Amino acid sequence: MQKNEWAVLALSRMEYRMRQGFLVSVKVFIMLAKKTIKNQITLPKAVVTQFTGVEYFDVSTDGECIVLRPLQKSRADEVRAKLAELGIGEEDVTSAVSWARKTA
């Protein structure tokens, strides 16, 4: 294997988990991905296909594991377009927030 190639190895094991109060056996796939010399990791296709439409992942670590959480696109632009379509401006939103805070 060359330096910048990646390798994925899929293994499986059985785990037991609680689901709705019942102990069930679950087949868990263990996939390995090799980090390249450029610190890049290619995610296995079996994982990526479960997150269609996701372009970005939040990356964190707990000290032992790297955790990837899918991020959905923000719908803020859709909301702004809808507000503009309805003729609701920034001043209207400010007034509505002030009114809501007074009545709460």
**85 and 41 within one domain:** no
Residues 69-102 pLDDT 10s: 888 777 888 888 899 999 999 899 899 999 999 8
Flag whether 3 is in a domain.
no
Segment 36-45, tens digit of pLDDT: 999 999 888 8
0.85 surpassed by pTM: no
53 and 100 inside one domain: no
Q: Which structural domain range is residue 79 located in?
A: 75-104
* CA gap 5, 35 in Å, rounded: 9
Q: Which residue has the tokens 């996701």?
A: 54
Distance in angstroms (rounded) separating the CA atoms of residues 87 and 93 = 11
Do 67 and 81 fall within a single domain?
no
